[in-house]
Structure 1
Amino acid sequence: MEIERKWMVNGWPEGENLPALPLKEEFAMRQGYISVRPTVRIREEALKGGETAYILCFKSGSGLAREEIERPIDKKLFDELETKIIGKPLIGKIRRSYALPDGLVLEVNHVDEGQPTAFWYAEVEYPTVDAARSWKPEAFGLADYLNDDVTDQPGQSMGAYWEQTRK
Structure 2
Amino acid sequence: MEIERKWMVSGWPEGLPLTEEFTMRQGYISVRPTVRIREEAKTGGETAWILCFKSEGGLAREEIERPIDAGLFRDLEEKIIARPLIEKVRRSYRLPDGFTLEVNHVDAGQPGAFWYAEIEYPTVEAARSWVPADPALAAYLAREVTGQPGQSMGAYWERTRK
TM range (shorter): over 0.9
Distance 1:83 1:135, change over 3 A: same
Give the gaps of 5 or more residues in structure 1. Answer: 15-19
Corresponding residue of 1:120: 115
Amino acid paired to 1:83: E
Return the alpha-carbon distance in structure 1 between the equivalents of residues 150 and 82 of structure 2: 23
Q: Percent identity?
A: 79
Return the alpha-carbon distance in structure 2 between the equivalents of residues 140 and 101 of structure 1: 9
Which residue does 1:140 correspond to in 2?
134
CA RMSD of aligned residues (A): 0.9
Q: How far does the alpha carbon of each residue in 1:43-86 deviate from its partner, in whole angstroms, 9 at most, with x for none?
A: 00000000000000000022100100000000000001001244
Aligned residues, how many?
A: 161
What are the residue-to-residue correspondences of 1:1-167 with 2, within 5 Å?
A: 1-14=1-14, 20-86=15-81, 88-137=83-132, 139-141=133-135, 142-167=137-162
Provide the rounded CA distance (Å) in 1 between the counterparts of 2:100 and 2:51.
Answer: 22
* Whole-Å separation in 2 of the counterparts to 1:28 and 1:154: 26
Could you tell me which runs of 5 or more consecutive residues in structure 2 were left unpaired when the two chains were aligned. Answer: none
C-alpha separation between the residues in 2 aligned to 1:76 and 1:157?
27
**Structure 1 counterpart of 2:83, one-letter code:** K
Note closer, same or farther for the CA distance 1:153–1:87 as it changes in structure 2 (3 Å cut).
Answer: closer
Instruction: Give deviations 1:144-165, integer Å, cap 9, x for gaps.
Output: 1000000021110000000000
